[in-house]
Amino acid sequence: MTGTSGPQSAEDAGTTYSTFTGWIDRPTDLAAPLDAEISCDVAVVGGGLGGMSIALRLAEFGADVVVLDADFCGYGASSRNAGQLSGKPTGEPQLLAKVNPGLLRDLVRFAEGSVQFAEDMIKQLGIECEYEQVGNVGVAVTKGQLRKAQRDAQALIAAGAAERYGDQRELGLPDTFLGGVLTMVGGTMNPGMFTLGVRAALLRSGVRVFEQSPVQSVIETGAGAQVVTPLGRVRAKRVVLANNAHAPELGITPKHLSKPVWVSMIETAPVDADRIAATGWTSRSGLATKHNVMESYHVTPSNTIAVGVRRLEVGKNPLTDRTSSQAVVADLTSAFRARFPSLRDVPVTKTWGGWIAMTTTRLPVAGQASKSVYYTVGCNGHGLGQAPYLGSLLAEYLATDAIHHDLIPFWRSAPRFTRSLYLHNPVLRAAWVVDRLGDRRAGR
């Protein structure tokens, strides 16, 4: 469960450890908690980008909607992520091209549609979030990764994706990278500003928003569902669970739907623009390495560099507020110093992290947990565009009964999921070790 108590940040050797995000401060205009018994057409549990988009889209159809968030809308992964809005689909493109080329085409269309959806939101809601349409590059650190990048690009282009393979110079990459695949659709942004912009739109819409209202249970009644919070209760015709990594905390959530995984970020002090250009990073595209567990790099308009992921840690529900561990922060810092040797003197000023919900298939899912209770979850590390797009597609389905073709690949007709074999800390640690051995062999 999220919470407002306890320190939000602590200092360690000049690095501020935050339990929230480095992109924005907490809003000060929190909506009041639910403290009554109310009714509505649809109650949405969780106000991340997913839940807020569901509510906004349903309100456009004239539905009476209530959103409940345990802390505030945007407290979760939505405002904490690496800010890379990418049109690259989830999964292994070469494998999918062989075993299910139709699904790969669907995933490409969904991923590019998600970017379009987020870009439309930014425009239509007038959100200032430092969005730059610079694309994102899957970058290779080793020759093996470079060959993989080339084959991935071929599979993706054949499936209709707007991708381009190139070497370090052609793609304007930092010179430690050998080359990679540029996903032309998308770019980078400040995800905290984007999420607060969507929250502001939600607060001025007709949707009733209750923050500081952790949902304790959702009960199917046959004629709707009841949502219970510490001080109130909502009787809704339908309920949508959009509580991401916290999904397993509610008894009504299908078993094995997802596992919570902690992802860490660090951010440097501002760097002189000429020094960044001198590394070769002239494109300023977002970067994600092609390791088993990627490293991500994002240069912001103020020339700080946000570095993310590299190590994933599986958690246990109920989740608590936390900071990233010193060991992971040190590891991310060493990655930054290895990839940008000429910037070794640049200090790391901030660190934070967030919980994502990972599914066994690594694909998002949406479906029905009971007659009146729906869920959407599992945009994994791609939810900046995909969570709001998937949410809006689910909202359209609830409002019209017609299922959009982009929702079909992710729709589960039965709430049955298998236990994940790879979402375990020893497996993820082994993946990290393999990545480091590969780096060492390549002298990087």
Ligand X SMILES: Cc1cc2nc3c(=O)[nH]c(=O)nc-3n(C[C@H](O)[C@H](O)[C@H](O)COP(=O)(O)OP(=O)(O)OC[C@H]3O[C@@H](n4cnc5c(N)ncnc54)[C@H](O)[C@@H]3O)c2cc1C
Residues of this chain that bind ligand X (CB under 6 A): 2, 45-51, 68-71, 75-78, 80-84, 214-215, 242-244, 246, 249, 263, 265, 308, 353-354, 356, 379, 381-385, 387
Nearest to ligand X of 104, 263 (CB atom): 263
Is there a contact between 60 and 400 (Cβ–Cβ < 8 Å)?
no
Q: How far is the CB of 277 from ligand X (least distance, A)?
A: 23
Nearest to ligand X of 154, 301 (CB atom): 301
Is there a contact between 366 and 411 (Cβ–Cβ < 8 Å)?
yes
Peptide bond into 33 cis (omega under 30): no
Nearest to ligand X of 55, 346 (CB atom): 55
Q: How far is the CB of 11 from ligand X (least distance, A)?
A: 20
Nearest to ligand X of 83, 93 (CB atom): 83
Amino acid at 53: S
> CA of 353: how far to CAs of 64, 97, 419, in Å?
34, 33, 25
Q: How far is the CB of 333 from ligand X (least distance, A)?
A: 16
What b-and-e string marks burial along 194-228, b requiring 16 or more CB atoms within 10 Å of the CB? bbbbbbbbbbebebbbbbbbbbeebbeeeebbbbe
Q: How far is the CB of 143 from ligand X (least distance, A)?
A: 26
Could you tell me which residues are beta bridge partners of residue 7?
A: none
Degrees, nearest 5: CA angle 406-105-134: 85
For residue 330, how many other CB atoms are within 10 A of its CB? Answer: 14
Q: How far is the CB of 369 from ligand X (least distance, A)?
A: 14
Residue nearest to ligand X (CB): 383
Could you give the maximum distance between any two Cα atoms of the chain, in Å? 64
Q: How far is the CB of 48 from ligand X (least distance, A)?
A: 2
* Alpha-carbon span 106 to 100, nearest angstrom: 10
Tokens of 185: 């659709």
Nearest to ligand X of 68, 171 (CB atom): 68
DSSP letter for each residue of 205-264: SS-EEE-S----EEEE-SSSEEEE-SS-EEEEEEEEE--GGGGGGSTTSPTTS-EEEEEE
Nearest to ligand X of 97, 234 (CB atom): 234
Amino acid at 58: L
Report the Cα 439 to chain-centroid distance in Å: 26
Nearest to ligand X of 354, 415 (CB atom): 354
* Alpha-carbon span 264 to 279, nearest angstrom: 24
Q: How far is the CB of 31 from ligand X (least distance, A)?
A: 12
Question: Is the Cα torsion angle 269, 272, 277, 282 positive or negative in sign?
Answer: positive
Nearest to ligand X of 1, 158 (CB atom): 1
Nearest to ligand X of 107, 379 (CB atom): 379
Q: How far is the CB of 338 from ligand X (least distance, A)?
A: 20
Nearest to ligand X of 154, 264 (CB atom): 264
Strands (E), 55-123: 65-68, 84-86
